[in-house]
Amino acid sequence: MKSLGNIRRSFAPWADPQSKPFISFRNITKKFGDFTAVDNLTLDIYHREFFALLGASGCGKSTLLRMLAGFERPTSGEIILDGQDIAAIPPYKRPVNMMFQSYALFPHMTVESNIGFGLRQDGMPKAEIAERVQQMLKLVKLEQFAKRKPQQLSGGQRQRVALARSLAKRPKVLLLDEPLGALDKKLREETQFELMDLQQQLGLTFVVVTHDQEEAMTMADRIAVMSHGKVVQVATPAEIYEAPNSRFVADFIGDVNILEGSVKAAGNGRVELSGGDFTVRAVSDAAPAIGTSAAFAIRPEKLKVSRTAPADPAVNTSEGEIWDIAYLGDMTVFHVKLPSGKVVKTSMLNAQREVENPIGYDEKVWVSFAETAGVVLRD
């Protein structure tokens, strides 16, 4: 598995101008009556990519997936798959398969007949079906459950049957709509890793729809964050988390503190904001005009809470008072009230079991951060 990890690390076809996208949405719009569910959206997905569409309920992510599967027709725009415009190709002829949230397994059929269903419909010879079903059972580690009916399986096992069924026809692209929605947290996390392993073993392209940011962060090579039918940002999980391109994305993914200010200086790779509790000096390529308002987004774990003043208390530092403490086991979250009354969220890893004299309620503290710890947002 280690070698796969290494391959994965260097997998970034989107950054290579030579590589061609495998799936291209070009100016795709989908209207339902007057309502625009997908709004002039352009997006490229690469061969062997694990791609996640992430967004709040109603943002249009399932509609986009359904258009790729062929269950909905775009109102305008093109979808190119493997160099071919697929608009006129009916769903069953597309090299794409979709796994739904409600797995829709046939309750009266055994696991193996469920898996072989699509192959029988395609008229594949019996011996070949048997062989393919065996392969699939092995792949999802359900060999000993072949003769069971779906109701004799756990939720996670059912999910794997559905996965095996959608992979049996060897689609080039597997579409997954909230694939782990029915599983409890622990099983969900395990299954996320199983899905990633499977995708790598088979060398397929996966497009998954989810509203669960942790799930998208765990599994995907890249994430498209969607809002109101548009893509707001497409990037790797780390880029989305560390360099969100807007308040919307910063706020949507993980926890964030937004510090408002007005631009005092900008240039030479730095931006300075003043006016709030902090004088912010941040490493940034943004070039907002002097005097305009801007925001600085910083994650809780990047704010440092200390009892003594940091070296240069003039910048990136504020006094504050511990307002709330939440002990979460692996970390402790401090809410710190700043002089303006604004409360910021900070988190600290509990690297040791017991800490002598831990920071407590109502204590006066310093909150500080590094120049590279957050991002200046333009909007």
Ligand X SMILES: Nc1ncnc2c1ncn2[C@@H]1O[C@H](COP(=O)(O)OP(=O)(O)OP(=O)(O)O)[C@@H](O)[C@H]1O
The least CB distance from residue 55 to ligand X, in Å, is 5
Which residues, numbered 108-147, are part of the site for ligand X (CB under 6 A)?
none
Looking at the Cβ atoms of 62 and 159, the one nearer to ligand X is: 62
Which residues, numbered 12-71, are part of the site for ligand X (CB under 6 A)?
32, 35, 37, 55, 57-63
Contact 223, 237 (CB under 8 A): yes
Residue nearest to ligand X as judged by C-beta position:
62
Look at residue 232 and give its three-state secondary structure: strand
Looking at the Cβ atoms of 206 and 278, the one nearer to ligand X is: 206
Question: How far apart are the C-alpha atoms of 172 and 101, rounded to whole Å?
Answer: 20
The least CB distance from residue 70 to ligand X, in Å, is 15
The least CB distance from residue 318 to ligand X, in Å, is 39
The strand pairing partners of 53, in sequence order, are 209, 224
Looking at the Cβ atoms of 37 and 240, the one nearer to ligand X is: 37
Question: How far apart are the C-alpha atoms of 294 and 258, rounded to whole Å?
Answer: 10
The strand pairing partners of 138, in sequence order, are none
Q: DSSP secondary structure string, 29-76?
A: EEEETTEEEEEEEEEEE-TT-EEEEEESTTSSHHHHHHHHHTSS--SE
The reply on whether position 261 binds ligand X by CB under 6 A is: no
Looking at the Cβ atoms of 73 and 120, the one nearer to ligand X is: 73
Number of residues that bind ligand X (CB under 6 A): 12
What is the maximum alpha-carbon separation in the chain? Answer: 77
Looking at the Cβ atoms of 59 and 297, the one nearer to ligand X is: 59
Question: How far apart are the C-alpha atoms of 285 and 376, rounded to whole Å?
Answer: 9
Using CB under 6 A as the criterion, what x/- string covers residues 206-225 for binding ligand X? Answer: -----x--------------
How much helix, strand and coil, in percent to the nearest 5, is found in the chain?
Answer: 30, 35, 40
The least CB distance from residue 184 to ligand X, in Å, is 19
The least CB distance from residue 287 to ligand X, in Å, is 34
The least CB distance from residue 18 to ligand X, in Å, is 33
Looking at the Cβ atoms of 66 and 165, the one nearer to ligand X is: 66
Burial class of 194 by CB neighbour count within 10 A (0 to 12, 13 to 18, 19+): middle
Looking at the Cβ atoms of 234 and 259, the one nearer to ligand X is: 234
> In the sheet that 76-81 helps form, which strands lie side by side, from edge to edge?
35-45, 23-32, 76-81, 84-85
Residue in this structure with the two tokens 């608009």, named with its chain if needed: 87
Looking at the Cβ atoms of 32 and 193, the one nearer to ligand X is: 32
The least CB distance from residue 188 to ligand X, in Å, is 16
Question: How far apart are the C-alpha atoms of 223 and 54, rounded to whole Å?
Answer: 7
Contact 118, 99 (CB under 8 A): no
The least CB distance from residue 30 to ligand X, in Å, is 8
**List of residues contacting ligand X (CB under 6 A):** 32, 35, 37, 55, 57-63, 211
